[in-house]
Amino acid sequence: MTQSEENYLKAIYHLTTITDTDVSTNAIAETMETKASSVTDMIKKLAEKDLVNYKKYQGVSLTVKGSLAAKMIVRKHRLWEVFLVEKLDFSWDEVHDVAEQLEHIKSEKLINKLADFLGNPTEDPHGDPIPDANGDVQKVEKQLLSELNIGQNGICVGVKDTSSEFLKYLDKQKISLGSQIEFLEREEFDLSLKIKVDHTILSISNKIASNIFMKLN
Amino acid sequence: MTQSEENYLKAIYHLTTITDTDVSTNAIAETMETKASSVTDMIKKLAEKDLVNYKKYQGVSLTVKGSLAAKMIVRKHRLWEVFLVEKLDFSWDEVHDVAEQLEHIKSEKLINKLADFLGNPTEDPHGDPIPDANGDVQKVEKQLLSELNIGQNGICVGVKDTSSEFLKYLDKQKISLGSQIEFLEREEFDLSLKIKVDHTILSISNKIASNIFMKLN
DNA sequence: AAATATATTTAGACTACACTAAAAATAAGT
DNA sequence: ACTTATTTTTAGTGTAGTCTAAATATATTT
Ligand SMILES: [Mn+2]
Ligand SMILES: [Mn+2]
Ligand SMILES: [Mn+2]
Ligand SMILES: [Mn+2]
């Protein structure tokens, strides 16, 4: 399997997890920053290899084989992210691009040894679940901070946007995985939220709040 | 720089270090297991990028720029090998193929953090020197076991052949980097050597001996 | 239901890299 | 020096992956 094929599979996998329907050519093109015609070409190749189900004009879905392959790539991506943060002192906003490369390294032994070395973590530095060696993904129930009701509190367990800009903003506000957050008040004018993070009170926009995953206490 | 370009540069670098003259098209083709015509194509591209000096029919040599690039790839290769052996418990005969992939990961930060994490080693698991971040390679004087005189002794500091078969043979004979070896006797009939390795005496062929690097006491 | 807009596929072209076969240059042998 | 052998380069072809532009299918309006 080529790197390009792997990247397409991963993109389809991610789109599937958020929409839960067949994935459109254009959606793939957009997330991969490529052209729809290129996507069509690749889809045909993946279908030929029995990695996706494809009927012209109807979008694609992953086969069992394709889904497993995609999850193995995600597993590698996230394990490498843990390695970079835990062992090499990268911060959580610096790991993605390197992990994009490392996820394509082919060696069963390497990835399992790496997992052991890291203590078989189940989550990456952004709170996303790491599929195990069989492709099983542990599903944690979590909800967006923007969807909490006033007075509810919990801990930050993940982020939706993993862009460097967003993560650096969170660093600045001292919000990280594990932070205790309480939803104090909503400003109806701009839908911003007043929250308490580990004893300090601050105000964040709705956009920010809708990119933070919470687990209620 | 593409992976393919990097592999060519590395091959030229290695050929240069052993022959110390201009490198022929055929020599490159052989080490890269490709065809001479492919090599000619790539050489032109590398020359265009000022990575090699090239005059038709005259072979190639690395420019300063090309030499530095090659050494950075070798640096990465060998640092990853150390990582695999020291941290992930790979044995020295299992690391090469994975390192061949890892050496192409592009991130200054990664490689320097990795070097720190490993304690800035100067040698890889096969006794080969690791270029530093500036491309400086520490040259250790060492000689082949096959070229020692009777009665001389020293420690094993490297191997010339790094194939899995050879390394496993050494494992079986309990010969590893750091082993104390004394050259006891030569059998003139087949040029085999009687040696003492850390208190045990054994006989090895000349072929074996000519792939073991020694540093005299 | 027809017209229009959008999404998707096809057709054709391009780059990177590899190959085979043939041509040209260099090296070796007599 | 001339012939032969070897090495290297060129010419032409193929595959993977991308692109643009055009054609076709599906979705949305009116
Ligand atoms: Mn990532
Ligand atoms: Mn992540
Ligand atoms: Mn190696
Ligand atoms: Mn090595």
For ligand 2, the distance from its centroid to the CA atom of residue B58, given in whole angstroms, is: 50
Farthest CA pair distance, chain B? 56
As given in the structure block, the two tokens for residue A25 are 């050519």
pTM for the model stands at: 0.95
Cα B198 to Cα B175: distance, rounded to the nearest angstrom: 9
- Sign of the Cα torsion B196, B201, B206, B208 reads negative
For ligand 4, the distance from its centroid to the CA atom of residue A118, given in whole angstroms, is: 24
The nt closest to B7 (CA vs C1′) is C17
Bases in strand C with any atom closer than 7 Å to a protein CB: 7-12, 16-22, 25-26
> With bands split at pLDDT 50, 70 and 90, how would you rate the model's confidence at B55?
very high
What pLDDT is recorded for position A39? 98
**Is residue B106 less than 8 Å (CB to CB) from chain A?**
yes
The 8 Å CB, 24+ separation contacts for A53-59 are A58/A22, A59/A21, A59/A22, A59/A23, A59/A24, A59/A25
As given in the structure block, the two tokens for residue A96 are 């993605």
Cα B193 to Cα A19: distance, rounded to the nearest angstrom: 70
CA distance A168 to chain B (A): 18
What pLDDT is recorded for position A10? 98
Per-residue pLDDT reduced to its tens digit, B128-183: 999 999 999 999 899 999 999 999 999 999 999 999 999 999 999 999 999 999 99
What pLDDT is recorded for position A74? 98
Select from B180, B167, B46 the least CA-distant residue to B97. B167
Coil, strand or helix at A139:
coil
Portion of chain B with pLDDT greater than 70, in percent: 100
Decide: A78 and A124 in contact? Cβ < 8 Å.
Answer: yes
Per-residue pLDDT reduced to its tens digit, A22-56: 999 999 999 999 999 999 999 999 999 999 999 99
CB-neighbour burial class of residue A155 (10 A; exposed 0-12, middle 13-18, buried 19+): middle
Taking the CB of residue A41, how many other CB atoms lie within 10 A of it? Answer: 11
DSSP state at residue A173: T
Helix (H) or strand (E) holding B26: helix B25-32
What pLDDT is recorded for position B40? 98
Measured CA B46 to C1' D5 distance, in angstroms: 30
Domains observed in chain B: 3-62 (1.10.10.10), 143-216 (2.30.30.90)
Taking chain B, what is the end-to-end CA distance rounded to the nearest angstrom?
A: 44
How much is the average pLDDT of A147-176? Answer: 97
Cα A62 to Cα B73: distance, rounded to the nearest angstrom: 37
How much is the average pLDDT of A121-125? Answer: 98
DSSP state at residue A138: P
Coil, strand or helix at B148:
coil
Residues of B in contact with A109 (CB under 8 A): 90, 94, 98
Select from A33, A30, A54 the least CA-distant residue to A41. A54
What pLDDT is recorded for position B53? 98
CB-neighbour burial class of residue B9 (10 A; exposed 0-12, middle 13-18, buried 19+): buried
DSSP state at residue B27: H
Cα B76 to Cα B115: distance, rounded to the nearest angstrom: 9
Q: At what angle do helices A36-48 and A3-19 cross, to 10 degrees?
A: 100
Nucleotide C6, nearest residue via CA and C1': A26
Decide: B62 and B51 in contact? Cβ < 8 Å.
Answer: yes
What pLDDT is recorded for position B36? 98
What pLDDT is recorded for position A75? 98
Q: What are phi and psi of A60, to 5 degrees?
A: -125, 160
Strands B212-216 and B52-54: unpaired
Per-residue pLDDT reduced to its tens digit, A51-74: 999 999 999 999 999 999 999 999
A107–B90 CB contact, under 8 Å: no
Per-residue pLDDT reduced to its tens digit, B75-113: 999 999 999 999 999 999 999 999 999 999 999 999 999
As given in the structure block, the two tokens for residue A66 are 């394709």
Taking chain A, what is the end-to-end CA distance rounded to the nearest angstrom?
A: 44
Distance of CA B215 to the CA centre of its chain: 17
The nt closest to A1 (CA vs C1′) is D16
- Among left, alpha and beta (phi > 0; psi -120 to 50; other), residue B199 is left
Measured CA B4 to C1' C16 distance, in angstroms: 10
Between chain A and chain B, the number of residue pairs with CB atoms below 8 A apart is 40
Measured CA A57 to C1' D26 distance, in angstroms: 8
C-alpha separations of B95 from A55, A155, B100, B101 in Å:
43, 41, 9, 10
Select from A79, A61, A58 the least CA-distant residue to A125. A79
CA angle centred on B82, ends B79 and B88, rounded to 5°: 125
CB-neighbour burial class of residue A148 (10 A; exposed 0-12, middle 13-18, buried 19+): buried
Residue whose pair of structure tokens reads 């009927």 in the numeric block: A55
> With bands split at pLDDT 50, 70 and 90, how would you rate the model's confidence at A85?
very high
Select from B19, B15, B73, B63 the least CA-distant residue to B39. B15
